[in-house]
Amino acid sequence: MRGRARGREDLLAKVVVITSGKGGVGKTTSAAAFAAGLALRGHKTVVIDFDVGLRNLDLVMGCERRVVFDFINVINGDANLNQALIKDKRNENLFIFPTSQTRDKDALRREGVERVLEELKQQFDYIICDSPAGIEHGAVTALYFADSAIIVTNPEVSSVRDSDRIIGILASRSRRAERNEPPVELNLLLTRYDPGRVARGEMLTVDDVKEILSIPLLGVIPESESVLRASNTGTPVAFDEDSPAGRAYLDAVARFLGEQREMRFVQPERRGFLKVLFGRA
């Protein structure tokens, strides 16, 4: 079932914000992987960098040398949408919308963002918004228009606390909240999970975090060498289907699309004789 095939009339594009409050938990990695996963499933997807001034999505997506116009240029009317959108070279359904490296976060005016999102909704099935860290203007702008939010959380106290804050902000300051519409759909994505440390009582368990934040769990991404390898080469990790993290993201995307999938990578991996010998995960 392809998103596009259903036609634009009965399938309104969905705006999904990838957010966390805390920095460095894997928002951009997750935004890139999630967008790639949706594109692999045949949905026309654009991923937007909302981190004005600290552009990084372009690097993670491997299109940093192709950026000409950006989000702010389009908001200000200096360029049109199709001049700024970068088509991914690996998947025809995937587009990247980079942000400005030179402006500051206040350049994101809400009316301008709304106009651009409305225009994107005419062309895409999913609009993935990669939020900046924090709870300031940029982060609130990124989540304001969301229909759905993916809360990226590490199994670590400060990340869980900040996720709780962001959940509160989604419930009170999003457009859906202001208009008394059905609330933004919330989903938890637990990243950098280390089942071995969990088993030794050194890390919060999936169930701990789920219980504390009490939102549905979309997926658990294991701590994996493949994530750094992917960002080194500018490849969304979901394109690396041999890696545990890549497979975990693809599972999360499938659940997001309504499929039932068993949680993998939450049990410590049994290390085989060869792995012990060569010490590679």
Partner 1 sequence: MRLFNLFFPPRPTSAAIAKERLKIVLAHERAGSQAPDFLPRLQKELIDVVGRYVEIRDDMIRVNLGKSGETSLLEINIEIEGAKAKATSAASAVPA
Smallest distance from partner 1 to CB 201, Å = 3
- The answer for 108, left when phi > 0, alpha when psi is -120 to 50, beta otherwise, is beta
As separate numbers, helices (DSSP H) first and strands (DSSP E) second, the chain gives 13, 8
For 118, the token pair is: 């409305």
Choice between 212 and 263, CB closer to partner 1: 212
DSSP symbol at 61: T
Q: Where are the alpha helices (DSSP H) in 20-136?
A: 27-40, 57-60, 71-75, 81-84, 110-121
Query: Residues 103, 115, 161, 175: which binds partner 1 (CB under 8 A)?
Result: 161
| Nearest CA among 243, 227, 234, 241 for reference residue 192 | 227
Does 271 help bind partner 1 (rule: CB under 8 A)? no
Nearer to partner 1, 67 or 212 (CB): 212
Minimum distance from residue 164 beta carbon to partner 1 (Å) = 5
Pairwise CA distance, residues 113 & 74, whole Å: 9
Amino acid at 4: R
178 interacts with partner 1 by CB under 8 A: no
Which of 81, 212, 254, 257 is in the footprint of partner 1 by CB under 8 A?
A: 212
Contact 20, 152 (CB under 8 A): yes
Closer by beta carbon to partner 1, 165 or else 271 = 165
Locate the DSSP E strands across the chain. Answer: 14-19, 45-49, 86-87, 94-97, 126-130, 148-153, 185-193, 217-222
CA–CA separation, 237 vs 256, rounded Å? Answer: 17
- Give the interface segment with partner 1, choosing from 123-131, 163-171, 238-246, 272-280 (CB under 8 A): 163-171
Tell me the number of residues near partner 1 by CB under 8 A.
16
Residues paired with 188 in a beta bridge: 151, 217
Residue placing its CB nearer to partner 1 in the complex, 81 or 177 = 177
Closest separation between CB of residue 157 and partner 1, Å? 5
Decide: is 135 part of the binding site for partner 1 (CB under 8 A). no
Q: Does 160 sit near partner 1 (CB under 8 A)? A: yes
166: contact with partner 1 by CB under 8 A: no
Residue 164 in contact with partner 1, rule: CB under 8 A: yes
In terms of Cβ atoms closer than 10 Å to its own Cβ (0-12, 13-18, 19+), residue 194 is middle
Q: Among all chains, which residue has been given the structure tokens 């966390």?
A: 20
Asked if 168 touches partner 1 (CB under 8 A), the answer is: yes
> Within 228-257, which residues bind partner 1 (CB under 8 A)?
none
- Least distance from partner 1 to the Cβ atom of residue 166, Å: 12
Q: Which is nearer to partner 1, 104 or 211 (CB)?
A: 211
Figure out which of the listed residues 11, 157, 228, 281 binds partner 1, where binding follows CB under 8 A: 157
Does 173 engage in binding with partner 1 (CB under 8 A)? Answer: no
Binding site for partner 1 (CB under 8 A): 156-157, 160-161, 164-165, 168, 198, 200-205, 208, 212
